[in-house]
Amino acid sequence: MKDFFAHMRPYLDHEVPEAIEHLVEALDWESELGPFIGNDRAANLIEGLRSLQSVEAFQENLSRVFIDLLLQQTAEDVSVSFSPGFEGHGALFISNHRDIVLDPSLINMALLSCGESTTQIGIGSNLLQTEWVEKLVRLNKSFIVRRGGTPREQLMASAEVAKYVRHVITEQNASVWLAQREGRAKDGDDRTSPALIRMLLNGENESAWNRMKVQPVSLSYEWDPCDGMKVRELLIRDANNGEYAKASGEDERSMKQGLFGWKGRIHVAFCNPIVWEEPPEGVRDAVHLAARLDQVLHEAMRTWPCQHWAASEWLRIMDHHGQNWPEDWSPNAVDSSVGESCERRIRLIAESVKDLNVSEEALRLKWCEITMNPLINAVLAERASSVTV
């Protein structure tokens, strides 16, 4: 039988040994991982790598162990909640997107904790600039989503992904994770791309959508380890009419910073499936479904004291609420230690962007915007829900 998805799917078990051999030879893994998880632990992980003979063994003995060790050192706490309608297999999980590696890892760790299998992970081809990175992610149950190309090639790639997702869910009864948009929400404003929904629908509607059992997963990070890189990018965009050119190796540095930077508390909220409903007159199916996903994701967001501090600081500087501010709402007062932590963060970022020659106020406002946007969205979603009930 022809393997139509061989170029994009995760590795099959018989392909694992060759991929692992390439991976082991690609880098000095003990030196790379030792500073973050300890030399002994790094050596033990790599020592057992060549003996792994299946994707399940790779995830159980390396991926799961590594992420667990990592979170012990870079997170204060990880909590998980499951909705009454949670279905752990044969489902499409769509989450907000803050970190390239950790977002799907957190979801998979949560699924494993309740006895479910891990998801397949959609990852953009733009992130796979070296052969060892591609082998690593495909060993970890990732499938490749082609990015770029002509409009016709993009259309064909979208149809291919839609077909593959349905194949995994309906024929293998396995689950898939996709981010709600291409690229992370650099400004903290989580919005589902209607283009993603159009891709998944692929010209169909109710029955095809409901078969995918689309379940939003809301990821709430107390601290964003990549906030400095995001502030830099957004300030450059502001100064260049939205234009930004990635530096060589920037994606790899972002992955590394996201993994090994401090995250504080993290909450993973699995929400009820989004069942098809007809959109209001004049509203397209994809736009309506994207808005419903956003409402659920925002409402399930766990909010943090640093976000309230950032909103208060925004008000102090700007002396007005801003465009999407909830009416008659004010951020909570927070302990002085929270403010001190936020100020330290801003000072560190200021040191890292000295070359941009931007004002301290512009930098401060940009960090506050990134940090407070999830809180603003959560408040707005809660109010919208109370109106519709």
Domain boundaries, the chain: 304-389
CB 107 within 8 A of CB 268: yes
Q: 7-22, pLDDT tens digit by residue?
A: 999 999 999 999 999 9
User: Taking 60 as the threshold, does the pLDDT of residue 230 lie above it?
Assistant: yes
- The answer for residues whose C-beta is within 8 angstroms of residue 1's C-beta and 6 or more apart is none
Q: For 3-12, 93-102, 323-332, 341-350, which range has the lowest pLDDT when averaged over its residues?
A: 323-332
pLDDT tens string 172-213: 999 999 999 988 899 999 999 999 999 999 888 899 999 999
Residue 102's contacts (CB-CB under 8 Å, 6 or more residues apart) are 67, 258, 259, 263
When pLDDT is cut at 50, 70 and 90, the band that residue 1 belongs to is low
DSSP 218-248: EEEESS-TTHHHHHHHHHHHHHTTT---PPT
Q: Please report the pLDDT score of residue 385 as a whole number.
A: 86
Q: Tell me: the pLDDT tens digits for 152-167?
A: 998 899 999 999 999 9
**pLDDT tens figures, 283-307:** 999 999 999 999 999 999 999 999 9
Check residues 24 and 231 and name the one with the higher pLDDT. Answer: 231
**What is the CA angle 332-333-337, rounded to 5?**
125
Residue pair 192/290 in contact by the 8 Å Cβ criterion: yes
Residue 51's Cβ-count burial label (10 Å; 0-12, 13-18, 19+) is exposed
321: pLDDT strictly greater than 80: no
Crossing angle (nearest 10°) for helices 64-74 and 29-37? 40
Q: Which of these, 377, 187, 201, 205, lies nearest to 297 by C-alpha position?
A: 377
Q: Please, which pLDDT band fits residue 219 given cuts at 50, 70 and 90?
A: very high
Q: How far is CA 89 from the centre of its chain?
A: 20
In the chain, the DSSP E strands lie at: 75-82, 92-95, 120-124, 142-145, 176-179, 214-221, 264-270
pLDDT at 389 over 70: no
φ, ψ (nearest 5 deg) of residue 5: -110, 20
Residue partners of 213: CB distance under 8 A and separation at least 6: 87, 90, 91, 92, 169, 273
**On the CB side of 68, how many CA atoms lie within 13 Å of its CA?**
13
pTM for the full predicted model:
0.94
Q: Check residue 249 and give its pLDDT.
A: 84
Q: What is the pLDDT of residue 38?
A: 86
What percent of the chain is predicted at pLDDT more than 90?
77
∠ at Cα 224 (219, 225), nearest 5°? 125
Find residue 93's DSSP bridge partners.
177, 215
Helical packing angle, 64-74 and 250-260, nearest 10°: 70
Number of CB atoms found within 10 A of residue 163's CB: 13
Pairwise CA distance, residues 94 & 182, whole Å? 12
* Helix 16-26 / helix 131-139 crossing angle, nearest 10 deg: 140
Residue 91: partners with Cβ closer than 8 Å, 6 or more residues away: 169, 175, 176, 212, 213, 214, 215, 273
**How many percent of the chain have pLDDT more than 70?**
98
- Rounded to the nearest integer, the mean pLDDT of the chain is 93
